[in-house]
Amino acid sequence: MLSLQYLPIPPTINIRFANKPLMPHGASKHWAQQSRIRHGPTGSINPNSCLSKLSLAGVSECADQVELPEELKPELMPKHVAVIMDGNRRWAKSRGLPVQLGHRAGGQAMKQLALNCKKFGVQVVTIFAFSSENWVRPKEEIDFLMNLFEEVVQSDLKELILQKDMRLSILGNRSQLPESLQNLLSSSEELAKSNKGMRLIVACNYSGRYDITQAAKNIAAKVRNGVLQVEDINESVFQQHLQTNGIEFPNPDLLIRTSGELRVSNFMLWQLAYTELLFFNKMFPDFDEADLVEGLTAFQRRQRRFGGHKY
């Protein structure tokens, strides 16, 4: 069962949410007013969650030297965090800026998100960069995005690979992308092949339904060719035919979506079966380190039962 956490929600919807964050005894009213994440009845955020608790000494050189905020426990850190980076266009429009500047700001926020996750000990980060449904947008915007992707791969991703030891995986149907971008993505994956650090997964021209459909087709072909028997098909076999096959911790522990939208938008539909969901009511370019700390803290307060119980 997917765990939702957000506010406000109309009372007619059959999901329980709190009307305001639940605060520990003695927490200040100011913190409750300033909290930027919506909290449900499953838990709350420690009011001491702030960047002043974080020692930044040596952050750029070694994540192991980072002192975590006191409310975060390394043993409860999600291994895989997925992010739907929503709200770049609305961020720009609300400021009277061209849409293109919103996407550029989102690119910078993406890089910082990856660095912050690495700093806090997250092992896999998946970002939803471009959906297969995004092709319906104006051609001018699509052309800009494809060029921006190339810029980001050549600069930011290359920096993360060479200087931060990050590994790189690409999900999605590459055949529809410009050939120059396809080549850049492939060469970047190869460049990061021997790295040992955090894995960054970029979902570009990705569709969860397409992922599942292709897996079903590949399994059907193996049955037709006598390579696989119908009786041998199970969840494990199916998962081996998804695009996340071979990736350690392929199923996200935590999904974060910005911009206030309450849906998964055809993203990692198989992999999100037991993922904890958090929705932030702010646009992705504004998503910062403090928000990530709050999100990770909320995750660590969840009780993940996977169909069982702990009481």
Residues of the chain with pLDDT under 70: 1-65, 309-311
| Contact (CB, 8 A) for 83 and 257 | yes
CB atoms within 10 A of CB 170: 21
Instruction: Identify the pLDDT of residue 308.
Output: 75
- Which domains does the chain possess? 79-206+250-300 (3.40.1180.10), 208-242 (no CATH)
Instruction: Identify the pLDDT of residue 51.
Output: 36
86 is catalytic: yes
Summarised one tens digit per residue, pLDDT across range 65-84 is 478 988 899 999 999 999 99
Sheet holding 276-279, edge to edge: 167-171, 199-206, 124-131, 80-84, 254-257, 276-279
> Cα–Cα distance between 45 and 193 in angstroms, integer?
38
Reported as half-sphere exposure (CB side, CA atoms, 13 A), residue 278 has a value of: 31
> Cα–Cα distance between 122 and 272 in angstroms, integer?
17
| From 64, 86, 156, 165, active-site residue | 86
Q: Tokens in use for 309?
A: 């119980």
